[in-house]
Every structure is written in C-alpha cells, then in structure tokens.
Amino acid sequence: MEGRLARIGLRIWVGGVLLFLFVPIAIICFYAFNSSNIQSWPIQGLSVKWFSVAWHDPQVRAAFVLSLKAGVFATAIALLLGSAAAFGVHRFRFFGREAVSLLLVLPLALPGIITGIALNSAFSFAGIGLSLLTIVIGHATFCIVVVYNNVIARLRRVSGSVYEASADLGAHGFFTFRTVTLPMLSTALISGALLAFALSFDEVIVTTFTAGAQNTLPLWIFGAIRLGQQLPEVNVVVVAVLLLTVIPVIIAVRLTGGGGITRGSAAARSAMDSGSPGA
C-alpha cells in the first residue's frame, strides 16, 4: 500500500512540476490568439489577427531576418571551428590539451553578461563597430561549444580502430573521411548545428552588448515588454521564437537520442567491453 501511495504522490509531484514549467508558456501561446489588445482573463475572443499584424510590422520583420542571419552564420562558424577543435583534441595528444578542452567549454558556463561585456569592450578597443558581424561573433562563442561537445562525444564513442580498419581495407585518408568519418559524425553535426541555432535564435544577454542599434527578435521582445507596447504582437513573436527554438531541439534530441547516438554508443560499448588494443 505504501508503495502505491508513494507512486501516486510521485505522479502528482511530477505533474505539479510540469505544470509549473509549462503553464506560463501555454498562457502566452493562448494570448497570441486573443482578439483584444488588452491582456485580461478571460480573453474576449479568439483571433489570428495579431499574427497578421506582426507579420506586416517592418520592425518585427527586420528583427526576424537579423535573428535568422545571426543564427545561420553563428551556426556555420560553430560547425567549422567546433568540429575542427573536436578533431584536434580527440586525435592529437599535445601539451595543454586538457586546458584547451576546458577553455572551449567554458563560454557556455560563463555568465552571458561577462561574455557580453568582455566582447563589447574588446570590440570598442579594436575599433570594430557593432553590427551583424559582432552579433555573430558573440553567438559563435557559445555555439562552438555545442557543436564541439556533440562531435567530441561522438568521436569518443566510435572506436578508433574503424579508421585503421578502413586503411587496412585499402582506403587512404580522403576516402576514409568521405565514407567513414563524415557519415558517422553526420547526426552529431546536424544535432549540434540545430542546438547551436536554437541557442543563437533566442539569445538576449550577449546580444544586448554586441548588437548596437539593431534588434534581433529577442531584443525586440525585450524592448517591447519594457516599454509596455505592442504586447499582443509580442505574444505572437514569442510563439514564433518558441517554435523556431523548440523544433530544432526536438529534432536534435531525436537524432542523437533516438537513432544516431544509440548506434554509436552500442558500438562504443562493445569496444569498451573488449578493452582497448594498442600499446
């Protein structure tokens, strides 16, 4: 009986936590369909008119495009540098390797405000005006980490002997890269990119210090809320941001948790079982 009670209690508790986490989000999504421009409960009626208003608002559009650009460029940089760093740290043993590994991951743990202020003063020190470029650089600092983490986790899971096996079967470097390395990393790269994009798309703090006069979508939301203006539009934009960040994350989790990583990890497990060959 006690076990049964505990189970029920636990379920209620979990339900409570989930409500606590998601009710506010549900409310804001609900408000996006409010026909009135006053947020009061119960809402007056359902409408999609604010979607149309937001879509035609040039400020929102400009912010949306800027956010997309920043996200895409930051992700591209992160893919390039993050995977290169992962290869380097994984493949080679060099002095300070652990330190490099830590320094790469640090920006994610570092408070955004520190990254933001540091970048801001660095840019002004170097005489670089705040622009799309500076936003992209700011976002890249933490996007690189996400890609790096994904790729290095995959590299660690894959037994190193597959590269030797490929060479053993007659393939030289580029063929191995094309047929073995890249396909094995593909899901890690895709999920890393999606997570990086999601992170970039809703970033506020670092962006505040690196955007200058321009607004990304989260900055626009922040400004509008602070001024108490265009609140119905804010709700719509929030829903858009929500979708554009949650969907990539879900896909990323699917890729790594569902098919991708299970494959890799099972292979790694068998590799670990049999112990590592070598010296």
Partner 1 sequence: MPTDAPLADPGAARVATGPPAVRLAGLRKSFGHLAAVAGVDLEIAEGEFFTMLGPSGSGKTTLLRLVAGFERPDAGVVELGGTDVTRQPPYARDVNTVFQDYALFPHMNVRENVEYGLRVRRVPRAERRRRAEAALEMVRLTGLSERKPVQLSGGQRQRVALARAIVNEPEVLLLDEPLGALDAKLRQEMQSELKRIQREVGITFVYVTHDQEEALTMSDRLAVFNQGRIEQLGTPVDVYERPASDFVAGFIGISNLLERDGRHITVRPEKIRLLADGEQPPPGSHTEPGRIEDVVYLGMLTRYVVSLADGGRLTAVRQNLDGYAADVLGTRGTSVTVAWRDDLSYEVTPEREEQA
Residues found near partner 1 in the complex (CB under 8 A): 158-159, 161-162, 164-172, 175, 179-180, 183-184, 186, 262-264, 266-267, 270-271, 273-279
CB of 155 to partner 1, least distance (A): 13
**Least Cβ distance, residue 168 to partner 1 (angstroms):** 5
Give least dist CB 186 to partner 1, A.
Answer: 8
Query: Smallest Cα–Cα separation from 25: which of 274, 258, 242?
Result: 242
Round to whole Å and give the CA distance between 47 and 116: 39
The nearest distance, CB 181 to partner 1, in angstroms, is: 10
Query: Residues 160-179, buried b or exposed e (16+ Cβ, 10 A)?
Result: eeebeebeeeebeeeebeee
Radius of gyration of the chain (CA): 23
First to last CA, the chain: 57
Nearer to partner 1 (CB atom), residue 83 or residue 245: 83
* Smallest separation, CB 150 to partner 1 (Å): 16
- Of the candidates 106, 100, 74, the one whose C-alpha atom is nearest the C-alpha of residue 87 is 100
Question: Is the CB of 49 or the CB of 269 nearer to partner 1?
Answer: 269
CA distance 53 to 55: 5
In the bound state with partner 1, the residue whose beta carbon lies nearer, of 24 and 183, is: 183
Closest C-alpha among 278, 262, 232, 199 to residue 46: 232
Residue in this structure with the two tokens 């202020």, named with its chain if needed: 117
Are 33 and 48 contacting, i.e. CB atoms less than 8 angstroms apart?
A: yes
Q: How far is the CB of 15 from partner 1 (least distance, A)?
A: 35
Residues 6+ apart with CB under 8 A from 57: 230, 233
| Token code pair at residue 238 | 């929030």
Tokens standing for residue 68 = 């997309």
What minimum distance in Å lies between the beta carbon of 200 and partner 1? Answer: 28
Q: Is the peptide bond before 58 cis (omega within 30 degrees of 0)?
A: no
Rounded distance, CA 206 to CA 113, Å?
Answer: 6
- Please, which residue, 45 or 278, has the CB nearer to partner 1? 278
Other beta carbons within 10 angstroms of residue 265's beta carbon come to 16
CB of 101 to partner 1, least distance (A): 23
